[in-house]
Amino acid sequence: MTLGSIGAVMLEATRREALAKMDGRISSALELGAASKGSAPKNAVNRGIAILDFILRIVAIVGTLGSAIAMGTTNQTLPFFTQFIRFRAKYTDLPSFTFFVVASSVVTVYLVLSLAVSIFNIVNSHAQGSRVLLIIFDTIMLGLLTAGASAAASIVYLAHKGNTKTNWFAICQQFNSFCERISGSLIGSFAGVLVLMKAGALELGNAFKGSTPQAGVNRGVSILDFILRIVALVGTLASAIAMGTTNETLPFFTQFIRFRAQYHDLPSFTFFVVANSVVSTYLVLSLALSILHIVKSGAQGTRVVLIFFDAGMLALLTAGASAAAAIVYLAHKGNAKANWFAICQQFNSFCERISGSLIGSFAAIVVLVLLVLLSAVALSRS
């Protein structure tokens, strides 16, 4: 081979190497351009949802703050009174209303503080840790606000309707202005409950998009999730059965009147049984997804679905348990200001049964909160 041919071969090899490098740079540039095109719309969507979350938190603040102020400033004095007795109704006369004001105030303070995190999510649309924190605390505040609103709602209903079976009179016939004010104060609080659920759903939809799951990391969490669902199922089912089978007949009765107490004599207890039954059914169905997560520990979409429905069932169960607890407290203690007598002095066995039925329900509420936390932790580790 001559010197000229050797030079030609080396020149050709150099040319091919240069072309290969150029092709590689062009391919990298094309991939970078495609990636940037794909991430830009995603960032815009995340930022838009974060802005909507911020707006919803403002709406919730207005609702909960308005409710706390409306209930906390409610009182009415009747135009007739004697030298020694003045007929006056205040929200502090009923513990459920006091709890309502405290719960609404606490949630209002939380929502104000959460605005900073919401703004952070607008600026940093890829943030995941802050979204997980919002989901966790939103769930806890959702439970607290639902408990306060439901307990107050059960007493408001009783104040309007009374109950002939327990001889609890409808005090709204005398304190009409007072009852209108406390009824109106519930609207903002329940609106806050809905907004918290909606805000949580928005965070769930975008907190974990596009993350790559780590196989095997979440299997232990999934097994614990399955066990906790079994525990919650036992609690809600036992509560529904205990309340639904509760009745007591007094040993004394006349020819025409038989003194008997049953759970469906009070609407709050009926709602309690329905709520626990619905949550029990949901927990049975959710076991299938929990098993799926044990088998496929990297699953994300189904975990998001579980968090969403767990939060909904948490709100329902809290509403039922809190409404029933308010009536149970009234049955034990009565209320001299409202002239509502403590029926547990006569129906002791009935009251012991309904009080015990609350234990499983409130235990299940704690478990549902833990389930939401576990799912959030599992997703954040993906």
Highest mean pLDDT among 163-172, 315-324, 336-345, 373-382: 315-324
Structural domains of the chain ordered from first start: 45-207 (1.20.120), 214-382 (no CATH)
Kindly indicate the confidence band of residue 82, based on its pLDDT and cuts at 50, 70 and 90: very low
Highest mean pLDDT among 88-97, 173-182, 188-197, 314-323: 314-323
Q: Can you give the pLDDT at residue 104?
A: 94
Kindly indicate the confidence band of residue 311, based on its pLDDT and cuts at 50, 70 and 90: confident
In angstroms, the CA 363 to CA 322 distance is 13
Query: What are the two backbone dihedrals, phi and then psi, of residue 278, each rounded to the nearest 5 degrees?
Result: -65, -45
Closest CA to 126 of 57, 49, 198: 49
Q: Can you give the pLDDT at residue 35?
A: 43
Q: Is 33 exposed, middle or buried (0-12, 13-18, 19+ CB in 10 A)?
A: exposed
Q: What is the pTM of this model?
A: 0.79
Kindly indicate the confidence band of residue 26, based on its pLDDT and cuts at 50, 70 and 90: very low
Kindly indicate the confidence band of residue 264, based on its pLDDT and cuts at 50, 70 and 90: confident
Q: Is 232 exposed, middle or buried (0-12, 13-18, 19+ CB in 10 A)?
A: buried
Mean pLDDT of the chain: 78
Kindly indicate the confidence band of residue 144, based on its pLDDT and cuts at 50, 70 and 90: very high
More reliable by pLDDT, 112 or 342: 112
SS3 76: strand
Kindly indicate the confidence band of residue 36, based on its pLDDT and cuts at 50, 70 and 90: very low
Query: Is residue 201 within 8 Å of 105, Cβ to Cβ?
Result: no
Q: Can you give the pLDDT at residue 217?
A: 52
**Who contacts 115 (Cβ-Cβ below 8 Å, separation ≥6)?**
54, 57, 58
